[in-house]
């Protein structure tokens, strides 16, 4: 509204001025160098306006001509920038769906049209990574690391390339440089923390953790838990070297993380040695309520030095009674009672607590039953049958992190380097599935459990020639041996039994082969040591002895379970974080 009023006012003023000029009488005379121009005032004003318009028009044309080259250069630059942005966008999309050839074409176009764009450098580096050209990727990342706006991104790329090349020292140096540039960098702090944990530098790891807390990367609860984990790791390492520092560390750790199992076990051990039995029991009970674990039960049983096996059984029963029924690990209390009962020779009590789990036993339940049969009755056959069940039974909970199964607790995952990654849970390999292929021998196992121990049978004299007695072969079902080492060892011990001899059947003398004299030289019995030897040529009637179903034996190829922890030195250096940990001796 104000603009309309102002416009009307200006029009009124212009009209008033034009009317005033038109009303002025007289002529306007201009004389210069003999020239004389005479005109009226209105005509002069009109000519003056035309001249001003002409001057402005000519000035605009000249200015436009003067500025045209610059405008053309800017327009070409804008078109190149647009083409570069288009190439960058479609190149990143090509990387997303894995088209390395298309990504390389777009990367070349982006480098040609937008050479100084940070995203063009990123596209070039990632396309080189997608093609597997690590040298080119490292060169681009070094260029990015020298620029102010892409320095941290370039260091991140160099770190990844060093990680892929298993260059632990180079990766650590890059991560530490990134920490200096940006203390709040999550990946750099995570990497430096993982490397220091792998080297056993717990003091340095604690310093990084404090820095992360100051930078706001961790909340209070996560900080307390991770600090407790690092202190526990330091205490476990110094337990045999500097017990004072180990005790101080674990006591601080148990205050920060009272439910951490290894911290509770070690703290209870120190308190027990200091004759603080009640405090040690309280520490174990607090951790047991959150996470029932066999190490906690063992620490609780031996919390008082010098106790008898019967007293340990009573103490374990007290701890098991405190197990919450809604906890998935409540079976740990019953297994602990069974173990303590076996040590106290209370076999009836052990059978009673294991009875609810015999229909679908886990490996530990089956091994405990095998130990009961062997210790109470000396029944090798039934112990061997339970050992076979342990071979094929479901896995028990174990320390698992990122699919990696360890026989002990570790502060850092060897797969990803994540702190406090290990959980006491059932490995993925033992999740419920179609177990039809592994139940084929269940009838044989039941027969072994129901039948009495085999006895030696003496052959009765016969009038005619007889075949030499031999061990009756039993076909073995094909099953993979994924049992723990203790199950395999128990199976091998159980297999060291005398061979079962079947009574010979009379043979018709008319049907006896002519080479009977040669067959008589064949050994009457074949032991386990003779299994690898080929039978003599004349003894063709003997069926080759195969592995008995109740003998798990040892596979030549070794355990094939991907979640089983590898024993010994691997054939090739693993890549990624696992390669870093192996280089640092983790």
Domain locations along the chain: 78-154, 249-352, 358-428+438-453+484-494+574-586
The pLDDT value given to residue 267: 94
The pLDDT value given to residue 48: 85
Q: 216 exposed, middle or buried (CB, 10 Å; 0-12, 13-18, 19+)?
A: exposed
CA distance 279 to 287: 13
The pLDDT value given to residue 1: 82
CB 38 within 8 A of CB 31: no
Beta bridge partners of 31: 36
Give which of 293, 486, 314 is closest to 386, Cα–Cα.
Answer: 486
Half-sphere exposure of 105 (CA within 13 A, CB side): 6
Give CA separation, 470 vs 525, 532, 553, in Å: 6, 16, 21
CA distance 399 to 328: 15
Q: 356 exposed, middle or buried (CB, 10 Å; 0-12, 13-18, 19+)?
A: exposed
Sequence-ordered alpha helix ranges (H) in 97-167: 100-113, 118-131, 134-146, 151-164
Give the end-to-end CA distance of the chain in Å, rounded to a whole number.
Answer: 79
* C-alpha torsion angle, residues 268, 270, 275, 279 (rounded to 10): -40
Mean pLDDT, consecutive 10-residue stretches, the chain (586 aa), reads 88 85 76 78 82 92 92 89 90 90 90 87 90 90 91 92 87 90 86 86 90 87 94 93 92 94 94 92 93 92 88 91 70 91 92 90 92 86 89 90 90 86 82 44 52 45 41 39 51 47 42 39 41 41 38 42 41 52 53
Residue with tokens 């002519």: 514
Helix (H, G, I), strand (E, B) or coil at 147: coil
CB 393 within 8 A of CB 362: yes
Beta 27-32 vs 35-40: how paired, if at all?
antiparallel
Distance from CA of residue 247 to its chain's centroid?
31
Q: Residue 92, by phi and psi: left (phi above 0), alpha (psi -120 to 50) or beta?
A: alpha
Give CA separation, 371 vs 45, 346, 487, 552, 554, in Å: 124, 13, 11, 17, 20
H or E element in which residue 517 lies: helix 516-519
Give which of 274, 281, 356 is closest to 315, Cα–Cα.
Answer: 281
The pLDDT value given to residue 415: 83
Across the beta sheet with 404-406, the strand order is 404-406, 398-401, 423-425
Report angle CA 420, 425, 427 to the nearest 5 degrees: 110
Give CA separation, 402 vs 406, 421, 499, 563, in Å: 11, 8, 46, 10
CA distance 341 to 345: 6
DSSP result, 417-452:
--BT--EEE--GGGS----GGGSTTHHHHHHHHHSP
Token reading at 60 = 């605009």
Which DSSP state fits 520?
A: T
Which residues have C-beta within 8 Å of that of residue 44, sequence separation ≥ 6?
28
Which residues have C-beta within 8 Å of that of residue 190, sequence separation ≥ 6?
417
Helix (H, G, I), strand (E, B) or coil at 487: helix
Sequence-ordered alpha helix ranges (H) in 182-260: 186-198, 202-214, 220-237, 243-256
Report angle CA 462, 463, 465 to the nearest 5 degrees: 80
The pLDDT value given to residue 284: 94
Residue with tokens 């082969």: 513
Half-sphere exposure of 244 (CA within 13 A, CB side): 0
Report angle CA 8, 12, 18 to the nearest 5 degrees: 145
Report angle CA 531, 536, 539 to the nearest 5 degrees: 100
Which DSSP state fits 454?
A: P
């Amino acid at each position: 509204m104000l603009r309309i009023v102002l416009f009307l006012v200006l029009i009124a003023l212009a009209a008033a001025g034009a009317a005033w000029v038109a009303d002025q009488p007289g002529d306007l005379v201009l004389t210069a160098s003999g020239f004389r121009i005479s005109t009226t005032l209105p005509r002069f004003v009109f000519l003056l306006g035309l001249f001003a318009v002409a001057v402005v028009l000519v000035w605009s044309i000249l200015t436009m001509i003067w500025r045209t080259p610059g405008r053309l250069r800017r327009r070409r630059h804008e078109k190149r920038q647009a083409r570069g942005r288009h190439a960058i966008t479609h190149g990143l999309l090509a990387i997303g769906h894995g088209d390395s050839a298309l990504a390389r074409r777009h990367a070349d176009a982006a480098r040609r049209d937008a050479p100084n764009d940070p995203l063009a450098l990123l596209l070039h580096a990632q396309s080189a990574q997608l093609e597997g050209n690590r040298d080119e990727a490292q060169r681009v990342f070094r260029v990015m690391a020298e620029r102010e706006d892409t320095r941290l991104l370039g260091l991140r790329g160099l770190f990844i390339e060093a990680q892929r090349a298993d260059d632990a020292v180079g990766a650590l140096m890059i991560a530490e440089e990134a920490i200096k540039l940006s203390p709040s960098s999550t990946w750099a702090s995570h990497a430096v923390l993982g490397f220091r944990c792998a080297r056993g530098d717990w003091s340095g790891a604690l310093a990084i953790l404090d820095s992360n807390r100051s930078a706001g990367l961790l909340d209070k609860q996560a900080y307390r838990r991770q600090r407790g984990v690092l202190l526990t790791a330091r205490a476990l390492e110094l337990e045999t070297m500097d017990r004072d520092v180990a005790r101080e560390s674990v006591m601080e750790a148990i205050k920060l993380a009272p439910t951490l199992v290894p911290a509770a076990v070690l703290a209870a051990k120190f308190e027990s040695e200091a004759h603080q039995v009640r405090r040690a029991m309280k520490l174990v009970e607090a951790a047991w309520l959150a996470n029932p674990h066999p190490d906690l039960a063992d620490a609780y049983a031996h919390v008082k030095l010098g106790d008898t096996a019967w007293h340990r059984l009573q103490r374990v029963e007290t701890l098991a009674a405190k197990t919450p029924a809604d906890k998935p690990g409540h079976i740990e209390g019953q297994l602990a009672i069974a173990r303590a009962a076996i040590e106290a020779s209370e076999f009836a009590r052990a059978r009673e607590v294991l009875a609810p789990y015999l229909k679908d036993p886990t490996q530990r339940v089956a091994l405990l039953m095998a130990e009961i049969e062997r210790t109470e009755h000396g029944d090798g056959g039934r112990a061997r049958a339970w050992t076979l069940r342990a071979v094929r039974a479901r896995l028990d909970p174990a320390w698992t992190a990122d699919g990696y199964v360890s026989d002990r607790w570790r502060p850092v995952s060897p797969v990803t380097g994540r702190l406090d990654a290990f959980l006491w849970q059932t490995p993925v390999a033992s999740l419920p599935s179609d177990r039809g292929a592994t139940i084929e021998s269940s009838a044989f196992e039941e027969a072994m459990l129901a039948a009495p121990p085999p006895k030696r049978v003496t052959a009765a004299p016969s009038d005619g020639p007889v075949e030499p007695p031999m061990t009756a072969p039993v076909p073995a079902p094909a099953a993979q041996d994924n049992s723990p080492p203790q199950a395999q060892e128990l199976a091998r011990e159980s297999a060291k039994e005398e061979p079962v001899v079947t009574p010979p059947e009379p043979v018709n003398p008319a049907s006896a082969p002519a080479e009977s004299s040669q067959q008589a030289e064949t050994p009457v019995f074949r032991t386990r040591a003779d299994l690898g030897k080929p039978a003599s040529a004349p003894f063709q009637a003997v069926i080759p002895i195969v592995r008995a179903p109740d003998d798990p034996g040892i596979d030549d190829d070794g355990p094939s379970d991907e979640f089983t922890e590898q024993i010994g030195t691997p054939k090739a250096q693993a890549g990624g974080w696992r390669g870093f940990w192996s280089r640092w001796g983790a």
